[in-house]
Structure 1
Amino acid sequence: MPILHNRVNNDELKRRMLESDEARVTLSFYQYHNLEDPKQFRNELFLRWSKLDVFGRIYVAKEGINGQISVPESKFEGFKADMYSIPWLNGVRLNIAVDDDGKSFYKLKIKVRDKIVADGLDDESFDVTKRGSHLSAEEVNALMDDPDTVVVDMRNHYESEVGYFEGAIRPDVETFREALPLVEDMLEDQKDKPIIMYCTGGIRCEKASAYYLHRGFQKVHMIDGGIIEYARQCDQKGLPKRFIGKNFVFDERMGERITNDVISRCHQCGAPCDTHVNCANDACHILFIQCPACAEKYDACCSKACNDFKALPEEEREALKGKVEFNGTKFGKGRYKALRKDEPLDVS
């Protein structure tokens, strides 16, 4: 029976990736398609793409596929040929990362899910194929010059904190599922205005645009290929970028720079910074923004409490796990900025 998952320790895989000088290409893709047997397709794909040294995170569901991966540069054409040999994936656009060091992923994970994006929608209640129109970078810039145009960020707050389109509505949410009804309420009296929606690579807007058209919005548009493709087209055609800052990405890089603007601040000291990290205390692991000075001061942790815990001997940490609350056990992603950071570890 072939091995259909990784059996090497994650720390070892990450070490190999960081020490490797192999050039790799980071990319994302998605496709809606009716899959009869997602599990069988997942297993076949794992075997095929493991041979090509593909790393990354791929979700497979009855409604299609959604992937963020990296491929060795030397095997990219072979991967592309293999992918396009699957009839329903033939010609699918590959969103190539715009700021890539090749260290985005360190292993291949392919998971079967109920949906390729968790949206909370009843797909049977509306026609998901009747989606909004796709806009090129040139069309985005032109439509944004229209004062009636409403621009909506369909991402989560921790994504838009480090980068966004000028003048965009940015919902204060942690999930796409939360954003859908909130945005609908916010735009209730603007259903006849041109609406441009955007997300990282376009997949969230595909479903959202169909839903909003179903709900009575009349002029729904989305950026073709999301922020990634918009930035690529701007670079290729010499267009001004209306997106400023960083594009948050869900891999080891945490972000790719679109412009040199730093629009966010360190959650600990308030200095200009747009570097997302996870707390180095594994019992916490909260996502937050940290500048180099605070990373040194707190040993890459989000608080003194986490720093104190991380410094304890391993046996003491194990004994305290589950008994001590940290930022990551109390708060959602990016909510750290509301906390006091200098409280010592309380083990009472």
Structure 2
Amino acid sequence: MQRTYLTTAMYYFVSLPHFKTLREPLLNFCISKNIKGTLLLADEGINGTVAGSEKSTIELLDYLKTDPLFEGHFKNLSHKESWSDKHPFYRMKVKLKKEIVTLGVPGVSPTKVVGKYVKPQDWNKIISDPEVVLIDTRNDYEYAIGSFRNAINPKTNSFREFPEYVRTHFDLKKYKKVAMFCTGGIRCEKASSFMMSEGFDEVYHLEGGILKYLEEVKPDESLWQGECFVFDQRVAIKHGLEVGDYDQCYACRYPLSHDDMKSDKYTPGISCPHCFNTHTPEKLKSLTERQRQVILAKKRGEEHIGKKLV
């Protein structure tokens, strides 16, 4: 793959009471460097994924870590990198949020209490312990294309549903050891905080998430099965952070296998086997028009940037 655009995923839990004042200067800096993607700011920290040239991306990280504007809050900010030959994002956004990852339980934050961080190299030992219950904290469609061996799928459609799943299915007296993971580490880190607040005292989470595991653990030693869904134009990745084999339905955002795309229920940009016959007439009309514009843009050699439909 041509090393043209450097994609950087980052998050950091830290008390950030003045986060609202950071939005505009951070957005302006990214735009000036032709960096695109999305960054979220909240009083509990920062989260996001952006991409740009290698030089610009390094400058952004340095800006976050050293500029007086951020008062040293991000000096220990870590990130994960991958490369693509096309820009994986269309716009740059900096959004202000109540949470940098939405759990929806007031007072829960890793800045207050958090589980035990587990390095990728130590993860196999933890999850091979028969007393450890392994939970995938991601959404159902993410689990569908890959997960760790023997991981429980909570079958959630959003992270906000995770607390209710735990309260319904997990008895403190029965489950003594719990291990959790997610794509980049942010959801399982916050989930560990929630579990601790619920009374679980031996809680582990994968530091750096699946992305760090796939980057550092050799395939022949791996307990990962399938591919890992990512929230950008790559759709999914494999070991070594190589781009995977899945595409995506741009009507429902579900990851699509080669077999899905051979289905008579698949129409690019309009429907797939997962959303066929579920769209309202208005939504179907909008999807059809958007796909028409995508085709016209491709003929002109351009990228179509339309309204977000889902």
What are the Cα deviations for residues 132-170 of structure 1, in whole angstroms up to 9, with x where unaligned?
A: 011012211111221111111000000110110000011
Q: 1:323 to 1:92 in 2, by over 3 A?
A: closer
Instruction: Report what 1:150 is aligned to.
Output: 133
The question of 1:115 aligning with 2:104 is answered no
Q: 1:218 to 1:160 in 2, by over 3 A?
A: same
SS of structure 1 residue aligned to 2:190:
helix
> In structure 1, what is the Cα distance between the partners aligned to 2:259 and 2:110?
51
> In structure 1, what is the Cα distance between the partners aligned to 2:187 and 2:145?
19
Instruction: Report what 1:59 is aligned to.
Output: 40
- Consecutive unaligned residues in structure 2, runs of 5 or more: 288-310
> In structure 2, what is the Cα distance between the partners aligned to 1:325 and 1:52?
33
The question of 1:181 aligning with 2:183 is answered no
CA contact (8 A) 2:141 2:255 kept: no
Given residue 83 of structure 1, which amino acid in structure 2 is its aligned partner?
Answer: L
> In structure 2, what is the Cα distance between the partners aligned to 1:252 and 1:132?
32
> In structure 2, what is the Cα distance between the partners aligned to 1:96 and 1:77?
11
73-82 vs 105-114, which moves further: 73-82
The question of 1:27 aligning with 2:11 is answered no
Name which of 63, 77, 92 aligns with 1:82: 63
Instruction: Report what 1:199 is aligned to.
Output: 182
Instruction: Report what 2:282 is aligned to.
Output: 321
Name which of 248, 261, 277 aligns with 1:277: 248
> In structure 2, what is the Cα distance between the partners aligned to 1:234 and 1:288?
27
Name which of 63, 72, 80 aligns with 2:53: 72
> In structure 1, what is the Cα distance between the partners aligned to 2:209 and 2:216?
11
CA contact (8 A) 1:245 1:259 kept: no
> In structure 1, what is the Cα distance between the partners aligned to 2:283 and 2:4?
41
The question of 1:228 aligning with 2:211 is answered yes
SS of structure 2 residue aligned to 1:287:
coil
79-88 vs 54-63, which moves further: 79-88
Given residue 95 of structure 1, which amino acid in structure 2 is its aligned partner?
Answer: K
CA contact (8 A) 2:177 2:202 kept: yes
Instruction: Report what 1:263 is aligned to.
Output: none
CA contact (8 A) 1:149 1:196 kept: yes
1:124-273 equivalent positions in 2, closer than 5 A: 128-189=111-172, 192-235=175-218, 240-258=221-239
Offset, 1:274: 6.3
> In structure 1, what is the Cα distance between the partners aligned to 2:47 and 2:172?
33
Name which of 2, 9, 21 aligns with 1:40: 21
Instruction: Report what 2:271 is aligned to.
Output: 302
CA contact (8 A) 1:198 1:226 kept: yes
The question of 1:286 aligning with 2:270 is answered no
What are the Cα deviations for residues 86-109 of structure 1, in whole angstroms up to 9, with x where unaligned?
A: 411112110223x74554212211
Offset, 1:83: 2.3
CA contact (8 A) 2:44 2:111 kept: no
What are the Cα deviations for residues 18-68 of structure 1, in whole angstroms up to 9, with x where unaligned?
A: xxx771111211112233333320101011222222111111112211111
The question of 1:93 aligning with 2:62 is answered no
What are the Cα deviations for residues 274-327 of structure 1, in whole angstroms up to 9, with x where unaligned?
A: 624124xxxxx21234445764754413259x999xxxxxxxxxxx6369799x
> In structure 2, what is the Cα distance between the partners aligned to 1:303 and 1:84?
43
CA contact (8 A) 1:164 1:244 kept: yes
Offset, 1:128: 4.7
> In structure 1, what is the Cα distance between the partners aligned to 2:156 and 2:58?
39
> In structure 1, what is the Cα distance between the partners aligned to 2:113 and 2:249?
39
SS of structure 1 residue aligned to 2:121:
helix
Question: TM-score, normalising length from structure 1?
Answer: 0.70
Aligned residue-pair number: 274
What are the Cα deviations for residues 218-260 of structure 1, in whole angstroms up to 9, with x where unaligned?
A: 210000011111112214xx77111121111111222112389
Bigger CA radius of gyration: 1
Question: TM-score, normalising length from structure 2?
Answer: 0.77
- Consecutive unaligned residues in structure 1, runs of 5 or more: 1-20, 261-272, 280-284, 309-319, 327-348
34-43 vs 293-302, which moves further: 293-302
Q: 1:303 to 1:165 in 2, by over 3 A?
A: closer
Q: 1:209 to 1:323 in 2, by over 3 A?
A: closer
Q: 1:56 to 1:325 in 2, by over 3 A?
A: closer
